[in-house]
Structure 1
Amino acid sequence: MIKCIDVSDLKVGMFVHDLNCDWASHPFFRKSFLLKQDSEIAKIVEAGIHEVYIDTQKGLDVRHARTEQEVKDTLQQEMLEIASKEPSPIIQVSFADEMGRAARIKTQAQTLVKTVMQDARLGKAVELEQVDPMIESITESVLRNGGALTTLLRIKNKDDYTFLHSVSVGTLMIAFCRSVGMDREAIRQAGLGGLLHDTGKALVPDEILNKPGRLTDEEFDIIRRHPGDGHAILLKTPGIGEIPLDITLHHHERVDGSGYPHKLPGEQITTMAKMAAIVDVYDAITADRCYHKGMSATDGLRKLYEWSKYHFDPKLVQAFMRCVGIYPVGTLVLLESGKLGVVVEQNEGNLLQPTVKTFFSTRSGVYQTPELVNLAKPLGFGGGDKIVSHEDPAKWKVNPLRFL
């Protein structure tokens, strides 16, 4: 049985099933292993990890601990309550109408970040006059329909991951800041910070950056230099604002003081940096990498919510969930009718009732002609169904994005 326990309950002889933190936050080669020494427990604590999941069939048990399913059920219920309190962002054009423009912006932004990284590696300053127009294009796309570009950016290949991750963080920061009502200039600065937040990785050797496995302690230390290196590079950029500098330097800080490079406590971390930390981790844990399979967007949000007890600002995590939706566009869901479908559009009135494109009946085991179902509408008016759960695409051997 898988159980969630506090690190204070860890003992030698327990089998760690999952370290319960984002992959970039710990120095272990594996996330699952048998605890053989007290020094391993000390290393877990030192890494700023507060809770872990253990496998009681492979090691010692903690009787009073909650099961993994109990934790999931509680978190899911709380998330649904949060999502039902506020409407989703206004959509100006349909997802389908924005897809073409979003695809072009994704390609252009990826090329731009690649150029910025190459210039930084050569010691050149970032040219803001090249970056600003791209921020404007991303912002306009998000204003038209935030789901289009953010959904496309979930598709990354290992060779271009670093560049597309930066585009994703920039785009999500723009959407996040817009959803909490920031002014246009603050949104622009936040997008700029997101797009440039990993500029320091230009100085990390490719064999470390793209290593298909866990990093050694020495390699982990090199990776941890990138916020400071990126900050130093941006300081050479004429006209750079305080917000991009802050996001670049502090996007790996955590509110419990366990982050880097300065181990700042929560009250010393700005709101923008706290928002960037949430966005950065969300995009990282939902992306496929050569050394781990990305979570679904809904599972990623649940993990962020779980970790907000210690690592992130809980109110900001809740605001981010409302920004992207509990069931973001592209999520595979199972409906009460037994049909499988893909979320294709958020509904402004209720994040729990998106528009879904159904294509398969789990009851008859038969593929059906794709049909749009607006869950916000009653039966007989193109609706009348309800989401029971989100589903793992691998389980059903389907790529949800092909239905968008």
Structure 2
Amino acid sequence: MLKKINVSQITVGMYLKEFCGSWMEHPFWRSSFVITDPKDIESIFSSSIKEVWIDTSKGLDVPTGGSAISEAEADAQIDAELERAAEQTRDVAPVSAAEEFERAARICAQSKRAVISMFEEARMGNAVDAGNAMQVVEEISDSVARNPGALISLARLKTADDYTYMHSVAVCAMMVALAKQLGLDEKQTRLAGIAGLMHDLGKAAMPNDVLNKPGKLTDGEFAIIKGHPQAGYELLLTGTNVDPVTLDVCLHHHEKVDGSGYPKGLKGDQISLMAKMGAVCDVYDAITSNRPYKAGWDPAESMRRMAEWTNGHFDARVFQAFVKSLGIYPIGSLVKLSSGYLAVVVEQTGKSLTMPLVKVFYSTQSELRITPRIVDLSLAGTNEKILSREDPSKWNFPDLKELWSGLLGS
């Protein structure tokens, strides 16, 4: 029987059925599990969750007993609570990137914790419930709906230690944005997001010393890492609520249209649309992220290089839609303007892929910083235009991320 209790009543041995509140308020990937570690209770105490549902038929009851209700009645109450929470928190009204950055940063942090928990479950041999990914994907999808570039650009800012986890968050967000750009319906867009979030689950089965090696992999080590799509596929086969789209993207996101990819060497139409989408999103985040053995490429430079690989690596239609979803000069790109000023891209204007909103902050003529100012390159009468991409490593501006995000310590 199910019973709602205050978090102060939780003890080791209880079967926790559901948290009362949004997943953003608690630190766990899943909600149905037996509490075996006192640290889990401490984590619940430190969150804003005040009540939980327990199942007394699968774990300990509260010492004082109390009233319990049938599972059907409890499920109805839980569904109603989740629906109310969703109605209270769901907000998809379009906003500027500047307005979305702070909220997107919170979603990134919570999503990373959820993915870490998911990987830990997989490492312990526990079946992964893909249904638990839904709330994570909805939060990410809502952020993308409010502003396509904010969360995606923040998710690119990752350390070597959290690369694997934040990579999953970033690919999820880009899959959602790309699905919208391709005109996929809401159900398919949601499935694309879940597939993106879980596409690299197989890395949970990879040796940590190889996965986190701070240097270039040997041929033998690379052969091991190339086994992660198959490993993830097999992990998902033992899971619950796993859609065929998630299985497909997990297994085939390293396939290339010319047949040179892995693990199956599929080519052209043998690769599904979702897997082709996964391939583009996976590569972009990988090459723009800092890794132990190399610095990430500038977003605009990454787009240029990926365009050169389109014939052999990516599906042309999918890649073109990807560029439209992020821009030729994605948020965070460092550019030189025709006036000689340097600027960083802070927003896409929607009018032209080559005319984003930029923040001008440096004069190459005087070699001095200037008071930052926003310029909309798409406005009629604007004389400025982008002259070239610039390599941030050559200029070494320590506050470049702060300039485009407005977030301290980003």
TM-score normalized by the length of structure 2: 0.74
How far the C-alpha of 1:91 sits from its partner, in A, is 8.7
Q: Displacement of 1:216 after TM fit?
A: 2.4
* Aligned partner letter, 1:301: M
Q: 1:246 aligns with which of 240, 245, 248?
A: 248
Please name the residue that 1:403 is paired with. Answer: 403
Which of 300, 310, 313 is matched with 1:311 structurally? 313
- Alpha-carbon distance between aligned partners in 2 of 1:114 and 1:291, rounded to the nearest angstrom: 22
**Corresponding residue of 1:48:** none
Which residue matches 1:229? 231
Is residue 361 from structure 1 mapped to residue 360 from structure 2 by the alignment?
no
- Specify the code of the residue in structure 2 equivalent to 1:392: D
The one-character-per-residue Cα deviations of 1:121-179 (angstroms, maximum 9, x if unpaired) are: 11111223431101000000000001110110111101101001111111110111111
Task: Kindly report which structure 2 residues correspond to 1:230-379, keeping only aligned pairs within 5 A, or say none.
Answer: 230-379=232-381
Q: Which runs of 4+ in 1 moved over 4 A?
A: none
Q: Which amino acid in 1 is paired with 2:228?
A: H
One-letter amino acid of the structure 2 residue matched with residue 260 of structure 1: Y
Give yes or no for contact 2:358–2:375 (8 Å, CA) kept in 1: yes
Q: What is the rounded CA distance, in whole Å, between the counterparts of 1:265 and 1:348 in structure 2? A: 33
Q: What secondary structure is seen at the aligned counterpart in 1 of 2:120?
A: helix
Where relative contact order (Cα < 8 A, 6+ residues apart) is larger, the structure is 1
Residues in 2 aligned to 1:319 and 1:269: alpha-carbon distance in whole angstroms? 17
Alignment-mate amino acid for residue 98 of structure 2: A
CA RMSD between the two structures: 1.4
1:4-403 → structure 2 map (5 Å cutoff): 92-379=94-381, 383-398=382-397, 399-403=399-403
User: Which letter does structure 2 place at the counterpart of 1:386?
Assistant: K
C-alpha distance in structure 2 between counterparts of 1:315 and 1:348, whole Å = 19
Q: Alignment length, in residue pairs?
A: 312
Give the match's secondary structure for 2:144.
helix
Alpha-carbon distance between aligned partners in 2 of 1:393 and 1:246, rounded to the nearest angstrom: 37
CA distance in 1: counterparts of 2:123 and 2:112, whole angstroms: 17
Deviations, residues 230-271 of structure 1 (Å, cap 9, x unaligned): 011111222211111100000011111111111112221101
For residue 401 of structure 1, what is the amino acid of its counterpart?
A: K
Q: Residues of 2 paired with 1:270 and 1:128: CA distance?
A: 20
Partner of 1:24: none
Structure 2: 5+ residue runs without aligned partners?
A: 1-91, 405-410
- Tell me the residue number matched to 1:23: none
Aligned counterparts of 1:328 and 1:92: Cα–Cα separation in 2:
18
Q: Secondary structure at the match of 1:360?
A: strand
Identity of aligned residues (%): 47
In our comparison, the structure showing a higher alpha carbon Rg is 2
The question of whether the paired residues in 2 share the 8 Å contact of 1:377 and 1:384 is answered with: no
Q: CA deviation at 1:292?
A: 1.3
Opposite residue 300 of structure 2, the aligned amino acid is T
Give 2:402's aligned amino acid: R
Give me the whole-angstrom Cα distance separating, in 2, the residues matched to 1:352 and 1:220. 38
User: When the two structures are superposed, what TM-score results if normalisation uses the length of structure 1?
Assistant: 0.75
Task: Give the whole-Å Cα distance in 2 for the aligned partners of 1:217 and 1:355.
Answer: 43
Q: How far did 1:371 drift?
A: 0.7
In structure 2, distance between residues paired with 1:214 and 1:368: 40
